[in-house]
Amino acid sequence: MNPLKHVAIIMDGNGRWGIKHKNSRNAGHKAGLNTVEKIIKETIKKKISFLTLYVFSTENWKRPKEEVNYLFKLLENFLISRIEDLHAQNIKLKIIGIKNFSKNLNKLLKYSEKKTSKNTSLQINLALNYGSKTEILHALKLISKNKKKITEKNFINYLQTKNIPDPDLLIRTGNTNRLSNFLLWQLAYSEIFFEKKLWPAFNVKDYNKIIKKYKKIKRNYGNI
Ligand code: IPE
Ligand code: IPE
Ligand code: MG
């Protein structure tokens, strides 16, 4: 049985679910948050150490302003209402991506990270304004600025995922088989599951089914 330390999820399909069920993409984002809560709970239960959630990509700024604003309002409300409880559950929150949001949200994100920084059960990484290509270029710039040798070991220390093991398992919901600029370096040897269900319809049973399949995979890393 494979150990499972780190699950990464591309939570896709909110918009389509919202249009289908409530004629509103934003309603889909709201419903998607319920799935986030359930998956966090199950991840704790399963004693998995890291959960990385793709919340907003560097490309998602192309969306209508109204949708972008709604997404950040949802995030803000989620943090305000849930951070104390997450902290009480010994969860550490980390943001990967560039924090250049409104003053209020930046402050809230920093507060949430600082407050939970010493926690030791599950680490949740929220990929927010995250893009893998930007991350890689930034790491290369830092290496060159600090006159370090370009080695794998040095390089990964300049990524935003420094000190986080690579995901063992990547799940993308929403019936789309692509990475959309998510953790391109870190996913080099992850087991990838593309799930047909849209994110708001994804449930704990689906999650457990994937985990069960993952545990049985023979991971070769180039070996036989
Ligand atoms: C993923 O759902 C959530 C974000 C990108 C914020 P989408 O909003 O991409 O949903 P679809 O793919 O349009 O259905
Ligand atoms: C990926 O979903 C980003 C997040 C889930 C946050 P998208 O819906 O933005 O991906 P594309 O644009 O369809 O590739
Ligand atoms: Mg999408």
Which ligand places an atom closest to the C-alpha of 32?
A: 1
Catalytic status, residue 168: no
Give the per-residue pLDDT at 195. 98
Give the per-residue pLDDT at 139. 98
| pTM for this prediction | 0.98
Active-site hit among 12, 166, 168, 206: 12
Nearest to 126 by CA among 56, 69, 190: 56
| Tens-level pLDDT at each residue, the chain (224 residues) | 999 999 999 999 999 999 999 999 999 999 999 999 999 999 999 999 999 999 999 999 999 999 999 999 999 999 999 999 999 999 999 999 999 999 999 999 999 999 999 999 999 999 999 999 999 999 999 999 999 999 999 999 999 999 999 999 999 999 999 999 999 999 999 999 999 999 999 999 999 999 999 999 999 999 99
Domains of the chain (ranges; CATH) run 6-130+168-176+189-216 (3.40.1180.10)
Sign of the Cα pseudo-torsion (194, 196, 199, 201, in order): negative
Give the per-residue pLDDT at 146. 96
Pocket of ligand 2 (CB under 6 A): 10-12, 54-57, 60, 176, 178, 180
- Sheet of 50-57: strands edge to edge? 92-96, 123-130, 50-57, 6-10, 169-172, 191-194
Report the DSSP pairing between strands 123-130 and 169-172: unpaired
Catalytic status, residue 12: yes
Atom 5, ligand 1: residue with shortest CA distance: 56
Give the per-residue pLDDT at 168. 99
Give the per-residue pLDDT at 71. 98
28 neighbors 14 (Cβ within 8 angstroms): yes
